[in-house]
A and B are shown apart, each in its own frame.
Chain A
């Protein structure tokens, strides 16, 4: 459970995780194994269609949450169940404590419930001297260790069998072996007795089916069944977001949840409880069942036009499974009670700004979570928005405000870049890298060499290289982006030469500025909007067939980003729409629009080349085949590498804020390319080039890092 007060303290905690070798190895192994298992589970299905179907179900349910609650209550009460509504976490805990008291309860057993973690229910019950025992193996382990879960589905993933062995040796007061099969059986036997002795069983639920007042509970161990069967009282604590209309809906959601969570077609048990059934305890002919629904901000969320999609979450945990940051630091550092991408959001809504303010900064916006989310939630965007919201509430940090001001004023920004170039002169050397880090960087940033600012930016070079007009040729306007305009103009020059030879007309509208992604990432909403407007105005979409960019991040921000940032401005709709539809990335343009063939391209020496797929290109824009085709067309021997689509760790301001995480991500990438025997690593984004090339240079690695424009020469 992440509780750091300051960003500094949070970073210190992150360091601890990075140094935890078992954790790193476990999460690494998981990150590698999970995608394959999941893919097998979905092999016969159309994942996107399933997600879309589930989103419709959950959105509709969120819209009529109150209505569904009333219906559920009526139906469940008909079947002998008592239904309660708790507005807050405390209220839920008090209701359950009261049920225990009135029922003369002494011992409580629980099966896994994230909602009970959310309310810290155990703490409350223990105050009344109740014995509370978790029966989910992972939950039991962390309960014994007095820890919070480090994953929503696998709460003890941060622990080794040796740690569990020690723990169980303590509990049983007998020496145990570090044999997982045996340890599981120790738990089985130890907990059996607890089931018999308990008078109250507490579960969560995955579905609350309104039409019949039914609870659907999805488990693998079978403990929820025992918890809801053996004790005479059953209490289910259920978030209002679990309400759905019908069993049909539940069955549809069930088709995605386990597959996405663990790669299982379905869990071992799916239990449907509809009302209070007969019991065989003498004196208690029927079960006493209470269902406590928890609001704790969910109803407000349901009303929120932007954040209501959070309620689609089915708690599959996949967004943590694929998160490169989670993989490095684990759930105790990437979440408070809820873990992973959704955890960053839920922490804000359920546990407050203070618990969330550091966490939300620790997202590199790679989009991996969004891509895999069972609810189709645009997690990175919402995380960014929460970040902005917190900044508004807390007062934005100076650095962020300054950057906002600078970027909103193109002339000022470019003047600053030019003077930065002048200032770097005495220290620049060594083939385009800064010899010393500028003062704003700490030594932790020293994991990669930083490039110098180019002698002459692209915007000053363009007039001299502007191709002559070719009547009838495609008309393309270049969007340069800061990195290529001021650091890597040669990448753009190479592209212009290619276009020229391909018979394309090229323009460079000079009023263009930074795309604005850096300020959007920092939560500077106003600045992000100003810059976006400036760019949309700088390009008259009627004048061009395409707006071409060689930067994956710019391409994605100019399209998806702008649609969000400039939404709600009716005067702009048509212009914005024309603008975003014309934006194209370099690889798609060369490969798919120009239909460039192998015989059109100057052939490179046939060395092994790996490809790094920029997050914004492969996931945000869905461009996957074109760059790989181009590698082959250029005569390179393209070798697929493990985790080609995992983030390189650049992430703009992320690498400034969390250099140690950035460095680990970078190393993973370079290692993978080298292990595949690649001599060249090609990518599609100058940001990735900066990260990968700077890292390779700093570490003295032989591998060459190239932008794809640098390996493509038109014959």
Chain B
């Protein structure tokens, strides 16, 4: 069923996407290139306290076994597997400059998590402010789950009005094997007294970088 807001003009589409994403507490910024988006992710990690699992719960009183998990993490890290070469190189350079660990694979062995995970969305859905993130690659998938802050780069040109507009792409992927997701805002729960809390099992924050080029 079409709602009155469709179809949208390109401006409306971007505006709606941004408004809907912000409505679910996503941070939206712009960058002129993928490389710039990657550097933004590193900058975010740099500005965070070390071992942000702290934010994720280490300051709370944990059982012994749970706190072991945190101590296994020593330096700040950014996870970003399977990036295009140029983007990977920019990110690697930025990480070296800031003395941040750049994790590209075997994420499964580092389930304590990362300050920042960086991935690239295939599309954005304006209607709901969602990101379409193919993540058949397990390392990419774990990036989107295990980080404290998830930074997703989204080419502006890939924003569509509604999920229906992705049907061809969805079906092509579902020819599979495939694992994909619509991601909208950070991980959230309202399971205790219906009070909204962000970051249950997944990221505590979602940053979307709209890439112009």
Q: A residues touching B (Cβ–Cβ < 8 Å)?
A: 26, 29-30, 33, 44-46, 49-50, 53, 79-80, 135-138, 141, 154-157, 159-161, 164, 171-177, 180-193, 195-196, 209, 211-214, 220-223, 225-226, 229-230, 247-248, 251-252, 254-255, 262, 264-281, 286
**Which of chain A's residues have a CB closer than 8 A to the CB of B58?**
189
**How many chain B residues have a CB neighbour from A under 8 Å?**
74
With A229-B141, A247-B170, A251-B164 in contact, is A265–B190 under 8 Å at CB? Answer: no
**Which of chain A's residues have a CB closer than 8 A to the CB of B63?**
171-174, 190
A157 near B189: Cβ-Cβ < 8 Å: no
B186 near A189: Cβ-Cβ < 8 Å: no
A186 near B192: Cβ-Cβ < 8 Å: no
A30 near B194: Cβ-Cβ < 8 Å: yes
A164 near B201: Cβ-Cβ < 8 Å: no
With A189-B60, A222-B200 in contact, is A271–B181 under 8 Å at CB? Answer: yes
Q: Other than the known A188-B201, A268-B202, what 7 A-B pairs have Cβ atoms closer than 8 Å?
A: A136-B191, A174-B61, A180-B192, A189-B70, A266-B184, A274-B179, A278-B177
Within 8 A of A (CB), among B151-188: 163-164, 167, 170-171, 173-188
- Separation of A209 and B167 alpha carbons in the complex (Å): 13
CB distance from B152 to the nearest CB of A (A): 13
Is the C-beta of B86 less than 8 angstroms from some C-beta in chain A?
no
B69 near A186: Cβ-Cβ < 8 Å: no
B182 near A192: Cβ-Cβ < 8 Å: no
29 residue pairs bridging A and B, Cβ less than 8 Å apart = A45-B3, A46-B3, A79-B176, A80-B177, A137-B192, A161-B192, A172-B61, A184-B192, A188-B56, A188-B201, A189-B57, A190-B62, A195-B111, A212-B176, A221-B188, A222-B187, A225-B145, A226-B201, A229-B179, A247-B171, A248-B164, A255-B1, A266-B182, A266-B184, A272-B173, A272-B181, A275-B177, A278-B138, A280-B138
Q: B residues touching A (Cβ–Cβ < 8 Å)?
A: 1, 3-5, 20, 23-24, 53, 55-58, 60-63, 65-67, 69-70, 105-108, 111-113, 127-130, 136-139, 141-142, 144-145, 163-164, 167, 170-171, 173-195, 197, 199-203
B179 near A271: Cβ-Cβ < 8 Å: yes
- Separation of A286 and B177 alpha carbons in the complex (Å): 10
**Which of chain A's residues have a CB closer than 8 A to the CB of B20?**
265
- Separation of A45 and B1 alpha carbons in the complex (Å): 8
With A80-B177, A192-B69 in contact, is A212–B187 under 8 Å at CB? Answer: no
- Separation of A548 and B141 alpha carbons in the complex (Å): 64
Q: Main secondary structure on chain A at its contact with chain B?
A: mixed
- Separation of A185 and B163 alpha carbons in the complex (Å): 32
**Which of chain B's residues have a CB closer than 8 A to the CB of A155?**
191
B163, B192, B203: most-surrounded residue (chain A CB, <10 A): B192
- Separation of A465 and B188 alpha carbons in the complex (Å): 66
CB distance from B204 to the nearest CB of A (A): 9
B193 near A160: Cβ-Cβ < 8 Å: yes
**Which of chain A's residues have a CB closer than 8 A to the CB of B55?**
185
Nearest B-chain residue to A221, judged by Cβ: B200
- Separation of A189 and B137 alpha carbons in the complex (Å): 25
- Separation of A266 and B132 alpha carbons in the complex (Å): 13
Nearest B-chain residue to A176, judged by Cβ: B61
- Separation of A49 and B112 alpha carbons in the complex (Å): 46
**Which of chain A's residues have a CB closer than 8 A to the CB of B57?**
182, 185-186, 188-189
With A45-B3, A274-B177 in contact, is A279–B138 under 8 Å at CB? Answer: yes
A182 near B185: Cβ-Cβ < 8 Å: no
**Which of chain A's residues have a CB closer than 8 A to the CB of B173?**
272, 274
A154 near B60: Cβ-Cβ < 8 Å: no
CB distance from B60 to the nearest CB of A (A): 5
- Separation of A46 and B4 alpha carbons in the complex (Å): 9
CB distance from B52 to the nearest CB of A (A): 11
**Which of chain A's residues have a CB closer than 8 A to the CB of B67?**
189
